[in-house]
Structure 1
């Protein structure tokens, strides 16, 4: 068993496309865009048995003032990506349990050795929902955090999906429909950013205050069939905005759900239109990401999704813990914001 950096874009993407664990967030060009805009060095590792590639993991590495950081994906205020982590090869799911555990142990042993070689102080990895066996991390002393997302089964008939919504949700969708709302695809990232900055004012440091609009511009340009920006209009007024992505059999509500006009139930109507759009296009499930955020989960849950779990694993040594303490207790001072940006 060996671990090596993968330099072949075609080999990487072919592996991601075939694996049931591979997501759009693992695609080569997306990883490179994240590298460009995050300030981290991308290390796309491949895990091999003999000459056969059986797992990959994209790692983002940064040495900041002697503190060595490893993330997969980078912090949400830089990348706004829900998960990344380890991807096993296409036949992994069909293996008997003992074989699954053997390969997972092999993968973790090689990755742990590489992280040790890098002398990492903080390691943070968020796994995709289907990669739920995190025992190797537990056994190696990692902190495990349970995370949540919402999934909709789009294989159900449309009327069954509709009837499963809360009464309040259906009423607001009907009310929204009376306004003659129109949804249009756009590339106007600057307007989207301005809307989201205004919507999240008062929520502190976040993706839209920290990241450049060029990040989303690059993503839209690199993945025109997978990532789309939408605005919803009442006449000429924008009353809704969202960025969604799709890959394989899944449609994902990624950015958005901004309340722009409180007199119109635009979010309920917009989400329902996206569900219908995804179902008509043949996607089997829709993810409405954001179940961990208390301020939005009551809105998202009234569409009656299935609560789905995934895992974040994290480990830090004394230097990593000290650096985090300094960040949280000293650099979080608003008067030292320029220092925080310089370091992180």
Structure 2
């Protein structure tokens, strides 16, 4: 039986709940696949959302949100869109855990190929880019359809452990800062705050990028709306003060089982390990809420790896897949500079 690809009806509240149920049960589903998040991204990315869903008969076999960006009459397809700080998206397979390898691979291939056909029909992109989630470890349905695939990496830390055992798994150079003496403990304060913390972190990250001749492209308005309109706790801004002055902050997105580092934690202008203590507070708070994993990101950048590997996380692989005509090489190069 073939797989039918249809575009999801965003106006039907029952369908929206079903979409999010699919995301929760998929091995490739993430917070960024949920429908409220997709609509928020669509508004701030100046893109058009195509939420594809595939069926084998009456059984859903996967969801695949895709965004169209158009400039000068030339369209490109992305999942996730650029400049938004979203780490991954792509296809989220469904109901394949019971299948043997041959049938599971055939279903995934047909689902992805069906979505690619729909993308070509409805968008007609000259350039396409998809970053899969770590739950989707097979890029071949894309490479068999003229995409180039590159492995990418992230750090994932299991935090559903005893806090002391978790801390002992960290590097010695990190552990020594997590139990400050009485004098140091009086110097710092870490809190989860609101919109003013988001503005502080965004300003700090922007300045850090500018100092490196780079541009931080995530819109402040996107982060503020995420905090104000998504369900409580989806975006959590943590800030740390040293000697009464804000020194650093970290933004994390939170899904049902995973928190995702988003931004912050650059080098503060204080001689104090405030970022180590920020991460440790984020980890402990999330664990207390029943969160299982912390996606630390940063595993593709050598400079950042040196720091984040101190938490002894697992190295997880996802895939960047791209397809485009030669005239769109400039689009690809521009995107890579901006992301």
Same fold? TM cut 0.5: yes
Q: Does 1:195 align with 2:204?
A: yes
Unaligned 5+ runs, structure 2? 10-14
Match of 2:252 in 1: 244
Structure 1 segment 1-344 matched on structure 2, within 5 A: 1-7=3-9, 8-75=15-82, 78-89=83-94, 91-117=95-121, 118-175=123-180, 177=185, 179-188=187-196, 189-207=198-216, 210-221=217-228, 222-321=230-329, 323-324=331-332, 327=334
Distance 1:238 1:46, change over 3 A: same
CA distance in 1, matches of 2:18, 2:259: 25
CA distance in 1, matches of 2:84, 2:218: 8
Unaligned 5+ runs, structure 1? 333-339
CA distance in 1, matches of 2:199, 2:161: 37
Residue 205 (structure 1) shift = 4.0
CA distance in 2, matches of 1:174, 1:232: 16
CA distance in 2, matches of 1:155, 1:323: 42
Residue 22 (structure 1) shift = 1.4
Greater mean alpha carbon deviation, residues 234-243 or residues 213-222: 234-243
Distance 1:198 1:323, change over 3 A: closer
Match of 2:12 in 1: none
Greater mean alpha carbon deviation, residues 23-32 or residues 180-189: 180-189
Give TM-score, length-normalised by structure 1. 0.88
Q: Deviations over 1:94-119 (max 9, x none)?
A: 32111111211210221121233232
CA distance in 1, matches of 2:174, 2:299: 17
Matched residue of 1:84: which SS?
coil
CA distance in 2, matches of 1:34, 1:297: 28
Matched residue of 2:176: which SS?
helix
Query: What is the number of equivalent residue pairs in this alignment?
Result: 325
RMSD: 2.2
Is the contact between residue 85 and residue 125 of structure 1 (CA under 8 Å) also seen in structure 2?
A: yes
Is the contact between residue 67 and residue 320 of structure 1 (CA under 8 Å) also seen in structure 2?
A: no
CA distance in 2, matches of 1:294, 1:42: 34
